[in-house]
Amino acid sequence: MKNPSFLRSFLFVLCSTLLLTSCGEKGKGDIVTRQLTVPAFEGVNLRIVADVVLTEGATQKVEVRGQENIINRLKTAVDNGTWEIEFDNRVSDYDKLTVYVTLPRLRRVVNSGSGSIQGLSTFTTSDLSVNVNGSGNTVLATTATTVDAGISGSGNIELSGSTPSQSVRISGSGSYRGFGLRSDQCEVSISGSGQVEVTANTTLRADIAGSGNVRYKGRPSINATVSGSGRVINSN
């Protein structure tokens, strides 16, 4: 049997180590606004708790409002055209952080946490991909050739504008509010209890596994496959 004193010492060191590694830098000081220099990008991936405000403009610009020591922890790396909005070190507690982004073209939006992403402009683009992985919220307006939207978790996406073709996938309990996004062709796939609202003028294909519902506006021809208690509902 091991010495009790040794065990107590070992447990003390272990707990102290875990406590230190679980702590991170805390926000301090007044709220300030700082401009960041970020390489050119056409997409954002929000990986922290923050609010992101997107605006379409001729020249890229990034401003951040928050506590200065927290702003200094933001990475500015761009991966395959997407700015990964995350910290370069562990951060444990901070006041509200808002990231203001102006960019000429938007093609990819990912919300990978519990923050919010909001577009103030109607973004004109070719292919737009919008994803929420978690409990975050994303609200955008677009005029796009195609729109691909996906939710994994309990998050929400709200889109408006117009597109010839849109595809929506939900895995979990999230909701997609797309009555304001006019489309011709629409494909929807739900696995779980997710809720989808779309406007389709020509065709609507729905694949539902679980208790999720697809509500539609427009007069599309409908091809539906339902496994479970989910429904395709006319909301005209």
In the numeric block, the tokens 């901070």 are attached to 94
130 and 84 both lie in a single domain: no
Please, which residues have CB within 8 angstroms of residue 4's CB and are 6 or more apart in sequence?
none
The pLDDT profile of the chain, 236 residues, written as one tens digit per residue, is 445 554 554 444 444 444 444 568 999 999 999 999 999 999 999 999 999 999 999 999 999 999 999 999 999 999 999 999 999 999 989 999 999 999 999 999 999 989 999 999 999 999 999 999 999 999 999 999 999 999 999 999 999 999 999 999 999 999 999 999 999 999 999 999 999 999 999 999 999 999 999 999 999 999 999 999 999 999 99
Answer for the pair 166, 150: CB distance below 8 angstroms, yes or no.
no
Q: Are 48 and 87 in contact (CB under 8 A)?
A: yes
Is residue 236 located within the same domain as residue 134? yes
Structure tokens at 109: 């939006």
Where is the domain boundary, 105, 133, 153? 105
Judgement on whether residues 144 and 186 belong to the same structural domain of the protein = yes
Domain contains 1: no
Q: Which amino acid is at 211?
A: S
| pLDDT number for residue 24 | 85
Tell me if 110 is assigned to some domain: no
> Which amino acid, 134?
G
Give yes or no: residues 55 and 89 share one domain: yes
Q: Are 148 and 230 in the same domain?
A: yes
Domain match, 127 and 100 both: no
Three-class SS of residue 15?
A: helix
Residue 59, judged by CB atoms within 10 A of its CB (0-12, 13-18, 19+), counts as: exposed
Residues 95 and 127 in one domain: no
Same domain assignment for residues 164 and 131: yes
Question: Are residues 221 and 188 part of one domain?
Answer: yes
Tell me the C-alpha distance between 218 and 203, whole Å.
10
Instruction: State how far the Cα of 62 lies from the Cα of 91, in Å rounded to an integer.
Output: 21
Q: What is the CATH number of the domain that holds 94?
A: 2.160.20.120
- Domain holding 216, by residue range, is 123-236
- Whole-prediction pTM: 0.89
∠ CA 94-96-102 to the nearest 5 degrees? 125
Domain count, the chain: 2
Cβ neighbours of 87 (radius 10 Å): 16
